[in-house]
């Protein structure tokens, strides 16, 4: 698994798209500080970008890597190797390379502008942590889609649809429901809705960390009571971990049974 992980990692790190991904965050960090030297404001701006862009990049990279390396994967499958070893190794290689591009790309400008000497260092660390978590989640979801659909067009289409639903459509549907039934107590519904979308859960965790949950309106008080405590944070991180573990277990299960 370590050898496959290393190969996948180095293969992606040599890709020009990995450099573009890294340079995007590097340039973005310096531009944000050029426009405004306030670290907290830069973190808030980055939140809106990372919450949307990181899942998209993870989804596209994950499904693209699977389809482009399918012949190499079939060669590995002909060797005396466990299928779980092959696919988990490839998965880890992808997520580590993408997470490294994110962390290093944003870390350089923020460190250069003295984030380590600022009280916002923990907020920035939380933002990178959430970005890496979303990468792990959406690459796993993308791999599940790729294993399900042999046709590239169907796989790409379903992957983009999944991202679109979670990043845009899901919030719109929840908002419509809450507006239609605003006369009823919707605290439990709001919490449950957040749990079933890792993007929303990640956004709320960062907003609570930045102590600006008032931007969420009435539901902000609900989230503050539940996720604002230490136990709430542990529960939230555990839920995000489940979003990684369950798709990964399905990758292993499907890979063992799938006829390649």
121-179 pLDDT, tens per residue? 888 888 889 999 999 999 999 999 998 888 889 999 999 999 999 888 888 888 788 77
How far is residue 225's CA from residue 244's CA, in Å, rounded to a whole number?
Answer: 25
Q: Where are the domains of the chain?
A: 2-257
Please name which of 98, 140, 167 lies closest in space to residue 240, comparing C-alpha atoms. 140
Inter-CA distances, 191 with 201, 232, 239, 242, 246, Å:
9, 11, 12, 16, 20
39-49 pLDDT tens trace: 777 777 888 88
In the prediction, which pLDDT does 229 show? 67
**Six-digit token pair at 239?**
């839920």
Q: What is the dihedral of CA 1, 65, 24, 93, to 10 degrees?
A: 0
Question: Buried (b) or exposed (e) across 181-205, using 16+ Cβ within 10 A?
Answer: eeeeebeebbbebbbebbbbbbbbb
Question: Any idea how long the chain is?
Answer: 260
Residue 218 reports pLDDT greater than 50:
no
Give the pLDDT band of residue 234 (cuts 50, 70, 90). confident
* DSSP element (H, E) containing 178: helix 170-180
3-state helix, strand, coil in the chain (%, to 5): 85, 0, 15
74/232: higher pLDDT: 74
> What's the predicted TM-score (pTM) here?
0.88
Contact 119, 43 (CB under 8 A): no
């Amino acid at each position: 698994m370590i050898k496959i992980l290393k190969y996948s990692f180095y293969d992606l790190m040599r890709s020009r798209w990995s450099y573009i991904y890294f340079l995007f965050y590097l340039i973005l960090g310096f531009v944000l500080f050029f426009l405004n030297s306030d670290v907290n404001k830069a973190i808030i701006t980055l939140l809106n970008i990372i919450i949307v862009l990181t899942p998209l990049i993870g989804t596209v990279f994950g499904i693209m890597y699977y389809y482009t390396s399918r012949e190499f994967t079939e060669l590995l499958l002909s060797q005396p190797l466990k299928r779980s070893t092959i696919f988990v190794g490839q998965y880890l290689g992808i997520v580590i390379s993408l997470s490294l591009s994110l962390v290093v790309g944003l870390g350089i400008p923020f460190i250069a502008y003295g984030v380590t000497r600022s009280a916002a260092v923990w907020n920035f660390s939380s933002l990178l942590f959430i970005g890496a978590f979303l990468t792990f989640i959406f690459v796993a979801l993308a791999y599940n889609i790729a294993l399900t659909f042999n046709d590239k067009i169907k796989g790409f289409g379903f992957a983009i649809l999944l991202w679109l639903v979670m990043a845009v459509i899901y919030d719109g549907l929840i908002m419509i429901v809450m507006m239609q039934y605003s006369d009823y107590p919707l605290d439990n519904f709001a919490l449950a809705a957040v749990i079933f979308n890792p993007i929303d859960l990640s956004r709320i965790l960062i907003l609570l960390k930045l102590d600006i949950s008032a931007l969420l309106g009435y539901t902000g008080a609900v989230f503050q009571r539940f996720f604002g405590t230490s136990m709430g944070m542990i529960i939230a991180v555990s839920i995000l971990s489940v979003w990684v573990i369950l798709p990964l277990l399905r990758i292993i299960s499907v890979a063992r049974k799938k006829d390649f």
